């Protein structure tokens, strides 16, 4: 199975800061990567797919980059509502669609 | 309104089975439906998918032999049944729709619509 490792596990930042979260795959997955945001007690919300495509309705301060085995999610100007846990997921076809272990972002 | 609505919370004893349902509405019931679980205080764990088109399935190896994902197209509902329950199966179980964006083919897959989650508690 493909393993995803997210870093850091926890980050604390302030409103207006720029923050970058990283997701590394144990093997190359091209751009088969999505990012999700999850708030306590809620289902995950899709933010980014195909590594860099912004899901409809997601604020433009969220962006994704990367290809192969290293990916990043950047939030350009943090807002209070961005406090959440962020997960990456690989969707390389017909393999288990594993998630990273998550990065908790505290504002 | 595009949505997935799951069945209510369950409390089961060790060794029992549980079946969680996921009712789809507002969209064509054709793409894969995935199941993901989350133990208390833990991350997301992908379990597998079922194809509403032909009933095909793909399971994470960890769950093979204990899980069955099925669907009833007549009522646009997917099901996840987990047997041989253990205490460490206590979790919130989510269903999610697989989304496909041809504009970024072949990479445009993701889970874009999620159910509200079903809490399954395994306790003696």
Residues in Cβ contact with A38 at an 8 Å cutoff, skipping those fewer than 6 apart: A44, A45, A84, A85, A86, A87, A102, B44
Residue of chain A minimizing CA distance to B108: A50
Distance CA A25, CA A69 (A): 5
Q: Which residue has the tokens 């998550």?
A: A102
The tokens 């032909």 sit on which residue? B54
pLDDT in tens, A36-81: 999 999 999 999 999 999 999 999 999 999 999 999 999 999 999 9
Å from A76 to nearest chain B CA?
Answer: 23
CA distance B19 to B40: 19
* Binned average pLDDT, 10 residues per bin, chain B of 124 residues: 96 98 92 96 96 92 95 94 97 96 89 97 96
> Is-contact A103 A19, C-beta < 8 A?
no
Write down the pLDDT at residue B108. Answer: 87
Q: B110 CA to chain A: closest CA distance, Å?
A: 6
CB A30 to CB B107 under 8 A?
A: yes
| B53 inside 8 A of chain A by CB | no
pLDDT at residue B80 in the model: 98
b/e map of B31-69 (b: 16 or more CB within 10 Å)?
A: bbbbbbbbeeeeebbbbbbbbbeeeeebbbeebeeebbb
- Whether A98 has its CB under 8 Å from any CB of chain B: the answer is yes
Contact call for A34 and B110, based on CB within 8 A: yes
Percent of chain A with pLDDT over 90: 94
What would the pLDDT profile of B27-56 be if each residue is shown by its tens digit?
988 889 999 999 999 999 999 999 988 999
Question: What's the mean per-residue pLDDT of chain A?
Answer: 95
């Amino acid at each position: 199975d493909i393993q995803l490792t997210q870093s850091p596990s926890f980050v604390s930042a302030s409103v207006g800061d720029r923050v970058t979260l990283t997701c590394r795959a144990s093997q190359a997955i091209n751009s088969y990567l999505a990012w999700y945001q999850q708030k306590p007690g809620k289902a995950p919300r899709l933010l980014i797919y195909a590594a860099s495509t912004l899901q409809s309705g997601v604020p433009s301060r969220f962006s994704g980059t990367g290809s192969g085995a290293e990916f990043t999610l950047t939030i350009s100007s943090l807002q209070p509502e961005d406090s959440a846990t962020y997960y990456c997921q690989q969707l390389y076809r017909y393999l288990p669609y594993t998630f990273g272990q998550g990065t908790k972002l505290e504002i | 309104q595009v949505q997935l609505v799951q069945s209510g919370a369950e409390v089961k004893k060790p060794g029992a089975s549980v079946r969680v349902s996921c009712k789809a509405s507002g969209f064509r019931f054709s793409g894969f439906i995935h199941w993901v679980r989350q133990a208390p205080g833990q991350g997301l764990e992908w379990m597998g998918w079922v194809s509403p088109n032909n009933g095909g399935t793909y399971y994470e190896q960890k769950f093979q032999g204990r899980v069955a994902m099925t669907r009833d197209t007549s009522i646009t509902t997917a099901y996840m049944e987990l047997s041989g329950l253990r205490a460490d199966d206590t979790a919130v179980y989510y269903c999610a729709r697989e989304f496909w964006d041809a504009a970024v083919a072949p990479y445009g897959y993701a889970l874009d619509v999620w159910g509200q989650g079903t809490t399954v508690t395994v306790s003696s």
